[in-house]
Structure 1
Amino acid sequence: MTLNLQFCIPILCLFLLFFGELHAQTRTNGKITKPIPKTETTPADPKNETTQDPTNLKPNSQPGTEESKPEETAEEDRFKDLDNKNGIVVTGSRGERRLKDSAVATEVISRKRIEQTGARNLGEVLDTQIGINVTPFFGGSQVQMLGLDSKYVLFLVDGQRVAGRLNNTIDLTRFKVQNIERIEIVKGSSSSLYGADAIGGVINIITKQAEKPEHYQFRTSYGNGRQMNFGSQGEKNMIADVGFKNDFVATNFFGGFNQAGAYDLDPRTPATTGNSFQDNNLGGNMTFNPDGQFKVKTGINYLNRNQAGIDSRSTGGVFDRSNMTNDFLALGALEYTYGKRNMVSLRGNFSRWENHYKLDQRNSNELDVKEITNEFSSQGVAQIDHEIHKDHMITAGFESFSEELQTDRLERRNAYRTRRAAFLQDEWVVWRQGIVWRLVPGVRHDVDSQFGGQTTPKIATKVDITSNLVFRASYGKGFRPPSFRELYLRFENPGVGYVVEGNDKLRPEKSTTVNADIEYSPFKYWTLSLSVFRNDITDLIQYTFGTRTSEFANFQLKNVQRAYTRGVEAGSRVRFWKYFALELGYNQTDTRDLTTDRPLEGRALHQGTMNFFVNAPGGWEFALRAKRLDKRPFYSTTNEFTTGTSTALIDQQTRSVEENNKVVYGKPFTLLNVRMEKKFFEGRMSLFLGVDNVLDQYELTYNPIRPRFYYGGLQATF
């Protein structure tokens, strides 16, 4: 694998400049001569003060001694905010817990990590996370986790559901990073706490909260690639946020503007591969805390987005495609704390997702399409977290959820349902002598207005064998009711020649999940992890080929399959020589459709990830992120039919069932992203440069990711 010389030279120069600066500022005859000023380090999150390493300051240190130098402490703490190792998490137990005490394995992507990767949206943040695969689709990007598609992953914002799925997929590019404080990921079934749709796990986006008396931040960037692929219109991003806090109220507001042209992997055809887009987003949150015990929390997020692309058919037709989306989410909560760890809370949200889709055939209006989709959801939760005594923490609650879909593509135009639920969980410390053993049984019962009662139990355990060796395991049940589109869809595409129909007799998909992991820290700054998992799914919903007339091929959804996903994940995190952090990950994911006895489509057997970070003196930061994905089997693209907007490979679906059953493999590929940043004025301002998809690897049909892309920008914080 080789790179073009014109690309290698500037990259080599950046490396030489970077490491030359590092060497000159830190070493003279083997001694540190220019310590980094303390102001250049990222301040610790006040809520995560436990992340500071107590060994960095010695109680008997005297002024002027090496141990008491604040510069040395600052250098040793350069990565304390990168992994949030000892911080607070909420997703695994549905309440605030220290990460190291959580019986459910929870991965945390901190604000520092998000900034250092240079990601612009949630999809780019997750792209090199171990055990997660992010793939493009016509509306943006989607996630696979533990070998399961996005429809099996529940997405939350501050612990509450969001609406709006295309092809049963939450578009990750909807979530902009300027308002994300951290991301919490729980893999495996979490239906005992969160109910439907959490078969594969939960991704919880925690929004930024004001932590200082006042702060102001602004960032702008511009990027582009080869004109052959990107044209002349580059990508522009501008974001800003401002926050205030006093003893009574804390508030944070943000806004952003993002714009980019389409990209094209095959300039020989008029069709574009990735959409052009323009979006505006704004929002904020406010927390009132008058007496230290009672809190009132509010939050609003709004996104307006316009996307455009071009489709072309083998018959010669050319179509201009557009999507206009309005995405609104309002959150609210009342919390009352009593005792040390006890809380009563009432939480609720309202979400509306509106999508206007238009397909306009050039020089004709015979096949034009106009569709309006409105999706509404509301949720209310009453919850109590009560410490019976130091070894028993009870979490119990009631939840009400409703959803409504209005679209021309449903047979009945409007669909509505509700779900009521009760859940109970006991965090029980069974043993505290020598080892610490936690056992967490939980159960939830949902009553769906369409599908009746569903009970989903789970039991998890965590054993702290030593302070450096931890073992976790869990077993749980999950379910996912069919979406409205799966139940009532009716879509004809006469231009291509197929009909897609839903099935109102579908049953909910059900799962059984087993997870186990072990984490070992042989040294202070080195952690090793190993986990295994298995998901068994019954009543799997899939498209099947029905009948074929002279005009149309007919496809319909049925509960026809059973499947499993199983695998192993191994990871290593190490910090060395004060300035460097390296993360390596590998996961093997074996999947099988037991009905057809073949692997599930689009899943790679092997995947590797690497994240290398440098926080050097002089305000220099460097990030290298990589992912290696093995070949993936493909049989058909019928799962794209539900969108009504993706035309890739649809022609192939109308030929014959035998051809669709033939396996085709997408090529292995390596994704490599690099980013460099230089801070000025005691860290209040920075310039950054980056390159995405350095190796320029993509494949039009099975890996239509964006070609090599260069960007740079400015960030200022006050």
Structure 2
Amino acid sequence: MLLNKFLAIGIPLLCFGAFAQEQKQDSIKPEALHEVFITATRTNRNLQSLPLPGAVIDSATIMRAGVNRLSELLAEQTGLVTVPDFGGGEGLQMQGLDSAYTLILIDGVPLVGRSAGTFDLSRITVGNIERIEIVKGASSSLYGSEALAGVINIITKKPEKEGVNGAVSYRYGAFETHDGNATLNFKRKKLYGTVFANHFATNGYDLVNTDDTKTVEAYNNTTLQPKVFYDFSGNVKLTTSVRLFNQKQDYNQTVEGIYYTGDAEIDEVNAQLRLDQKWSSGFRTEYELYTTNYQTHQYLENYNGQPYDEGNTFYNQWLLRPEFRGMLNLGRGLLTTGVGMNYETLNRSYFANRAIFNSQYVYTQYDYSPTDKLNVLAGARFDNHNRYSSQLSPKLAVRYDVSGNFSLKTSMGYGYKAPDFRQLYFDFNNAAVGYTVLGYNVAEENLDKLEAQGLLSSRLPLDFSTPLKAESSVNYNFGGSYKKGSFSAEGNLFYNTISNLIDTRIVADKTNGQNVFSYYNVNKVNTYGLEANATYKLAGDFRVTAGYQYLIAKDPGVIDRIKAGEEYAVNGSSGSVLLKTSDYFGLPNRSRHSANLKLYYTLQPWKTDFSLRVVYRSKYGLASTNGNDYIDKYDNFVAGYFIVNLSAIQHIGKNFLVQAGANNLLDFTNEAQISNISGRQWYAKVQYNF
């Protein structure tokens, strides 16, 4: 099995590399450029030299966008689609894969706390972000689980100038939204650091006026992030960083005609200690200790003070991760090796006991340029886990410079996503409706109890003795880039095949007419398509960028059943019709086409920056509406739409700037089907730098 992974990934790339020839390349040399990229390779690389599909969003672009939260910023990027979760937050879809498959990092370390697999990007403020590095494609060879679709690394700012300096800003916008930032930087000889604080508050918004609750209830949150650096010598540096996050939100629900009110609170702590040591010009090491804790508490009660669902639900997740990394320069190559462990616990409502995961891992990567024209990146990671089978994740990427203006690159990698705590240990009974959801590891024991209590009318003969398998994917990318003068363009073809997809299925019928659900490896999914980006600069002050993604995301099992003449759909008054393969649209919440167009203009005499950004998403289906479990042409679709964002920044002297604009300028809303687009958001901002 492991040999097959290496052969499937390695042979095509080695054949590609065998035909490569010579030309100059900066593959492994550290660059002092603003587009230094460390996420993809854990080494300093110029973005233009990477053999992998990636992108960088710099601080100037973030400022011009005029947004508050990470979700708003990523929604404007090619191939990234933000989708709502159940609580008003937003997750990220990449290359057609759900948000559960994208790993979110901050300064290179992972963030935890997901709702049904979705990491809420609105938890992250953009006020202190230096750049965002995006890697598309399976990245488990370096990062392990959850990096099946790709990685997003949020790099926060650090001091650059001697002495004390900083900035304060305030932004007011629609829906009574307030956003305040304060940054204090200090740098003196060997000691330097920064303290960043953000407070965000909004009254929420309501897209449906026919009920008692809002689409997103009012909430406020505070982020505090101090970072301190100390250079013991030119060869040893210590970094300490802490991030504190607290959010409070109104929590209101109507259940079976009864109105409940309450509140929800999130507390998050991230702490990192890292020591960098340079032993010689060709060898350095990094020692890192990281821990994070994510907690939520929710409370609901009716007008009589009677609690719903026993009054209080909670979620408490811890992760502890020590890691050691070493980098050895071998002439035309750089060898990176790391070893570490994860100790993770989760205690939450609907778990009988605290769940514990622990794993150990080792990875290695060789970044090699045999000629000036060719760069080869090869690596693998082995994860040993106490709750699922061990995983080997190889990856191989090649870049070849055809000419000084044109380059080709291709990569293949294996990614995986481990079963999460919910899928293994959930024990939930919906008292209002009557259904039950059981995690795979506790399903058999709890089914036996329900059967002994006479609560089951039938039970499927399923075997829960073998461990639930990790979802796995093989990812292929092939693309190229061209740059000449003021014009640059890049394109990438991608293909992902996911095996052992974890889904819910009925495992028993209850005597009340409801079902018992559990999780099982039941499916396979393919996503493939094309991404393209182009940028053109006019007269130095005007820049146009455009991006486009074409995406197909389908279940090959459905295609096989359609070909066998086994699948039907309801077509209005015509009744059931036999489906053709061309009738099958694909997986829910996937658009065939998405695009963006961005115009940036600087009026130099007035020191004014303008930006106009347009985002398009074509139609998609949310759920089957005609009698089967997938999206076909006879289903109801969410219509395609445009979002237009406009911003202007006026610089006043050296220290002041004011900004005004509108996101969703055309006031697009779809109250029935799209909960994460609130309508037009006017805003104004003032900032003072000192």
Q: With structure 1 as the length reference, what TM-score do the two structures score?
A: 0.81
Q: Offset of 1:445 from its aligned partner?
A: 0.8
Tell whether 2:165 aligns with 1:215. yes
Aligned to 1:6: none
Q: Offset of 1:667 from its aligned partner?
A: 1.8
- Give the counterpart letter for 1:477 in structure 2: Y
Q: How does 1:395-434 map to 2 (within 5 A)?
A: 395-410=336-351, 412-432=352-372
Tell whether 2:61 aligns with 1:113. yes
Q: How does 1:187-336 map to 2 (within 5 A)?
A: 187-213=136-162, 214-224=164-174, 230=175, 234-313=176-255, 315-336=256-277
Aligned to 1:77: none
Structure 2 Cα separation of the partners of residues 243 and 102 of structure 1:
32
In structure 2, the CA distance between the partners of 1:496 and 1:679, relative to structure 1 (3 Å rule), is farther
Tell whether 2:519 aligns with 1:557. yes
Aligned to 1:526: 487
Structure 2 Cα separation of the partners of residues 659 and 270 of structure 1:
32
Q: How does 1:343-492 map to 2 (within 5 A)?
A: 343-363=284-304, 365=306, 367-368=308-309, 369-389=311-331, 391-410=332-351, 412-432=352-372, 436-492=373-429
Aligned to 1:76: none
In structure 2, the CA distance between the partners of 1:537 and 1:658, relative to structure 1 (3 Å rule), is closer
Structure 1 Cα separation of the partners of residues 208 and 679 of structure 2:
11
Aligned to 2:503: 542
Aligned to 1:26: none
Aligned to 1:81: none
- Give the counterpart letter for 1:492 in structure 2: N
Structure 2 Cα separation of the partners of residues 50 and 383 of structure 1:
22
Contact 1:580/1:612 (<8 A) preserved = yes
Q: Offset of 1:321 from its aligned partner?
A: 4.8
- Give the counterpart letter for 1:604 in structure 2: S
Contact 1:628/1:668 (<8 A) preserved = yes
* Cα deviation 1:194-227 (Å, max 9, x = unaligned): 1111110000111111111132101101111xxx
Aligned to 2:3: none
- Give the counterpart letter for 2:82 in structure 1: V
Q: Offset of 1:461 from its aligned partner?
A: 0.6
Tell whether 2:594 aligns with 1:635. no
Moved more, 356-365 or 686-695: 356-365
Q: Offset of 1:246 from its aligned partner?
A: 2.8
Structure 2 Cα separation of the partners of residues 286 and 155 of structure 1:
23
Tell whether 2:70 aligns with 1:122. yes
Q: Offset of 1:624 from its aligned partner?
A: 1.3
In structure 2, the CA distance between the partners of 1:291 and 1:585, relative to structure 1 (3 Å rule), is same
Contact 2:251/2:300 (<8 A) preserved = no
Aligned to 2:432: 495
SS in 1 for 2:370: strand
Tell whether 2:630 aligns with 1:613. no
Q: Offset of 1:366 from its aligned partner?
A: 6.3
Q: Offset of 1:663 from its aligned partner?
A: 3.6
Structure 1 Cα separation of the partners of residues 672 and 362 of structure 2:
45
Moved more, 510-519 or 489-498: 489-498
- Give the counterpart letter for 2:100 in structure 1: K
Q: How does 1:573-652 map to 2 (within 5 A)?
A: 573-597=535-559, 599-617=586-604, 618-635=606-623
In structure 2, the CA distance between the partners of 1:288 and 1:364, relative to structure 1 (3 Å rule), is closer
Structure 2 Cα separation of the partners of residues 96 and 448 of structure 1:
30
Aligned to 1:43: none
Q: Offset of 1:341 from its aligned partner?
A: 5.3
Aligned to 1:694: 665
- Give the counterpart letter for 2:171 in structure 1: S
Tell whether 2:136 aligns with 1:148. no
Percent identity among equivalent residues?
26
Structure 2 Cα separation of the partners of residues 304 and 385 of structure 1:
37
Moved more, 547-556 or 478-487: 547-556
SS in 2 for 1:666: coil
Q: Offset of 1:600 from its aligned partner?
A: 1.3
In structure 2, the CA distance between the partners of 1:459 and 1:364, relative to structure 1 (3 Å rule), is same
SS in 2 for 1:452: coil
Contact 2:260/2:308 (<8 A) preserved = no
In structure 2, the CA distance between the partners of 1:322 and 1:48, relative to structure 1 (3 Å rule), is farther
- Give the counterpart letter for 2:547 in structure 1: G
- Give the counterpart letter for 2:385 in structure 1: D
Moved more, 131-140 or 508-517: 131-140
SS in 1 for 2:233: coil
Contact 1:188/1:200 (<8 A) preserved = yes
Q: Offset of 1:565 from its aligned partner?
A: 0.6
Contact 1:262/1:309 (<8 A) preserved = no
Contact 1:671/1:693 (<8 A) preserved = yes
- Give the counterpart letter for 1:325 in structure 2: I
In structure 2, the CA distance between the partners of 1:217 and 1:562, relative to structure 1 (3 Å rule), is same
Structure 1 Cα separation of the partners of residues 598 and 631 of structure 2:
38
SS in 1 for 2:122: helix
Structure 1 Cα separation of the partners of residues 30 and 500 of structure 2:
43
Q: Offset of 1:176 from its aligned partner?
A: 0.8
Contact 2:78/2:596 (<8 A) preserved = yes
Structure 1 Cα separation of the partners of residues 426 and 75 of structure 2:
32
* Cα deviation 1:669-692 (Å, max 9, x = unaligned): 11111111111023x111111111
Contact 2:359/2:384 (<8 A) preserved = yes
Tell whether 2:44 aligns with 1:96. yes
Structure 1 Cα separation of the partners of residues 233 and 227 of structure 2:
19
Contact 1:148/1:565 (<8 A) preserved = yes
Structure 2 Cα separation of the partners of residues 660 and 524 of structure 1:
45
Structure 2 Cα separation of the partners of residues 191 and 659 of structure 1:
29
Q: Offset of 1:580 from its aligned partner?
A: 1.2
Q: Offset of 1:701 from its aligned partner?
A: 3.6
Structure 2 Cα separation of the partners of residues 130 and 575 of structure 1:
19
Structure 2 Cα separation of the partners of residues 427 and 656 of structure 1:
52
In structure 2, the CA distance between the partners of 1:615 and 1:339, relative to structure 1 (3 Å rule), is farther
In structure 2, the CA distance between the partners of 1:669 and 1:195, relative to structure 1 (3 Å rule), is same
> Which residues of structure 2 form unaligned runs of 5+?
1-28, 442-466, 560-583
SS in 2 for 1:595: helix
Aligned to 1:640: none
SS in 1 for 2:142: helix
* Cα deviation 1:595-639 (Å, max 9, x = unaligned): 334511111111011222122221211111221101112226xxx
- Give the counterpart letter for 1:193 in structure 2: L
- Give the counterpart letter for 1:483 in structure 2: D
Aligned to 1:712: 684
Contact 1:272/1:309 (<8 A) preserved = no
Give the total of aligned pairs: 605
Structure 1 Cα separation of the partners of residues 384 and 212 of structure 2:
50
> Which residues of structure 1 form unaligned runs of 5+?
1-46, 52-83, 225-229, 637-651
Structure 1 Cα separation of the partners of residues 139 and 643 of structure 2:
30
* Cα deviation 1:154-195 (Å, max 9, x = unaligned): 111111112211111111011111221111000000111111
Structure 2 Cα separation of the partners of residues 319 and 692 of structure 1:
33
